[in-house]
Structure 1
Amino acid sequence: MSCMKRPYFKLKLWIEGELTKMNIKQQLNQVEKLVNGSCHESTVKEIEKQKPEIAFAISLKSKRVSRDWEKVQNNLSLTLKSILNNTDPNFIIIIAGHEKPNIEELNDKRVTWLSVTFPPPSNPRKATVDKRRKRMVIGAFLRRNGFSGYFMPLDADDWIHYRFVEYIRLLPISNTIILNKGFMVNVIKNEVWTQNQFYIYCGSSSLFYFSNRDFPKSTKKSHINKTDFKWVMKNHVKVPQYVKNHTMIDYPFVTYVLAHGENLSVIQGIRDNRTSAEHHNGVGEVLDDWFYRGFKIWDK
């Protein structure tokens, strides 16, 4: 572990100071340097044996509250591509939903589909409760299957950097890892910007370390409240307030995608398709091919 004390933290401190001065393409290049400089190959192999896997937990919306089911499926496909193309294969993806999408990525052995039996929400206002109920189903599934490791709630339209898993598993284990920076994309405006306090805006912004007994035995509220899993049922905005001993990450490894037509926050009226860097005190840049390559969602 000695490499974690020298090259990793020396590079970490340098990047933290310089990151805010860089444009987005330079930031992505520095993320590469960060991961490359973390450890030598032999030490990485040793870490792989002992560091926890990551379980990405996706609650997929029902057709009943979607405007365009084809778009929902395409969004999920891109999200899964971004994860499946990660350099570190030590992860699983669990998706809970009512209607199973017809997309190729669901055939990957690292992806598990869980069909829920409770009724879908009757309108978009109830979709947030639906999302959390599906998250409970995923938690109970992981308990039954003996999983221990990081649990990351992930929206079905966000993108994960292709070296995210590798980076997280190089870090010392933390009760909770919170993403303080991330990217936001408006696909209509073809704009991307770096967002500070990313966890306020995006639900795909925290990883919780759980032993198997921290997951609920069932989806009953009484079982949920007896375990640390209750923290993932809270509003993501308040995670830093109610979770002790958390670690903040100031590198943009996740992209929150807006204005594709199926954003729950837009449908619920919390945000709208005009959202831009200007509204978020950010500096917008043109969304270009090099950005897509950083998230491996398609070849351009």
Structure 2
Amino acid sequence: MSRHITGTSSVYSIKKQLKRVEAYFLNKHVNKNKAEVAFAISLKSKIVSRNWNNVQSNLAKTLRSILNNTDSHFRVIVAGHEKPDIKEIRHKRVTWLPVNFPPPSNQKGFSRDKMRKRKVIGEYLRKIGFSGYFMPFDSDDWAHHRLVQYVRSQPTRKNFVIDTGMMINLVKKEVWLRKKRFYIGCGSSAVFYFANKDFPLTPETNNAEKKPFHLVLKAHPKVIQNLRTLRRPCKIVKFPLVTWVLGHGDNNSMLKGKKNNTVSAEDYGSKGEKLENAFFHYFKARKNQHDA
């Protein structure tokens, strides 16, 4: 028997989860720390994308979701081969970093390409004197508008792992809650605190991997284990502050064969709901609201 539900009860369930986040901040107006959050996005090359227009559109939505955050103490750094022709990339809080190494020749090189770009971002943050939170973020996922506020409402120097998150299949037009182990599947699920000296001086592999920064170069399913190995404090987050978006045609996980367009709430023992414009809008800034 299918566990896919599109009725009122599931809609209420999703809304209830989102209301939990709002309720948490009802009486939390003062942040506990002054650290800034840097979102690090490694953008795939036009050469290896199925549809460059889709890649650009997905990035625009991701950037709008981040730019819509209630707390403005953040920046976004995007590293890639070809600069997207979207207005969001020109926003004052967004920095574009071109890379000069060759793009991957096939899907097997996607992960290495992503990490090389991540190291370029780390080098940039080292050079500008940045110390604070570093969040690797995929170029097609959505950030909750309270994400930055949540991180900065906690004591300084903590690391965060998002255990609960939303999932969407755009082909099936379904949305559901993954209550546990969200970080296992979604790469936009951890926030690390780094002092400036923790970032690499250069993107060279040996230099980057000798520092705590190597935490962001390891596979995200083992992030908790890796943090504990280095004895770095970690807070497990039970709020759905990130939405993992699938089924748009250029997901790396789908191109690698790890996921397909049939993925649904049933696969995660969850209850699905019909993806409606209201939910889509909830995670997106209005167009033109954040023009540079």
- How far off its partner does 1:297 sit? 4.2
Contact 2:67 2:285 in 1 (8 A): no
Residue 152 in 1 paired to residue 131 in 2? no
**Which residue of structure 2 aligns with residue 105 of structure 1?**
88
Question: Which amino acid counterpart does residue 267 of structure 1 have in structure 2?
Answer: L
Structure 2: gaps of 5 or more residues: 1-9, 288-292
Tell me which amino acid in the other structure corresponds to 1:212: N
**1:112 maps to amino acid:** T
1:217 lines up with 2:201 in the alignment: yes
Structure 1 counterpart of 2:19, one-letter code: N
Letter matched to residue 71 of structure 2: D
SS of match in other structure, 2:225: helix
1:82 is aligned to 65
- d(CA) in 1 for partners of 2:22, 2:105: 44
Q: 2:98, 2:145 → 1: CA distance?
A: 28
Structure 2 counterpart of 1:255: 243
The answer for the alignment partner of 1:23 in structure 2 is: 13
Aligned to 1:285: 273
Secondary structure, aligned partner of 2:25: helix
Query: Structure 1 residue 236: deviation in Å?
Result: 0.2
Count residues in correspondence: 272
Q: Does residue 64 of structure 1 match 2:75?
A: no
**What's the secondary structure of 1:239's corresponding residue?**
helix
Alignment match, 1:122:
105
Counterpart Cα distance in 1 of 2:282 and 2:146: 9
SS in 2 for 1:252: coil
Q: In structure 1, what is the Cα distance between the partners aligned to 2:267 and 2:102?
A: 37
Match for 1:51: what amino acid?
A: K
Tell me if the contact between 2:164 and 2:237 (Cα under 8 Å) persists in the aligned partners.
yes
Amino acid at match of 2:50: R
Aligned-pair identity in percent equals: 49
Deviation at 1:162, TM superposition (A): 0.9
**Structure 1 stretches of 5 or more lacking a match?**
1-19
Q: Distance in 1 between matches of 2:167 and 2:209?
A: 33
Q: State the one-letter code of the partner of 2:246.
A: L
Matching residue's letter, 1:193: W
Equivalent residues of 1:174, 1:246 under 8 A apart: no
Q: How does 1:162-177 map to 2 (within 5 A)?
A: 162-177=145-160
Compute the displacement of 1:36 (Å).
1.9
Equivalence for 2:290: none
Name the CA distance, whole Å, in 2 between partners of 1:88 and 1:296: 15
Structure 2 distance, partners of 1:191, 1:171, is 32
Aligned to 1:229: 213
TM-aligned CA deviation for residue 149 of structure 1: 0.4
Distance across 2 between alignment mates of 1:191 and 1:173:
37
User: Which residue pairs with 1:266 in the alignment?
Assistant: 254
Instruction: Give the whole-Å Cα distance in 2 for the aligned partners of 1:30 and 1:289.
Output: 21
TM-score, structure 2 length as denominator? Answer: 0.90
Return the alpha-carbon distance in structure 1 between the equivalents of residues 38 and 181 of structure 2.
23
Superposed displacement of residue 103, structure 1: 0.1
Aligned letter for 1:158? D
1:201 equivalent among 185, 188, 208: 185
> Aligned partners of 1:87, 1:270: CA distance in 2, in Å?
34
| Letter matched to residue 225 of structure 2 | Q
| Structure with more contact order per residue of length (Cα contacts < 8 Å, sep ≥ 6) | 2
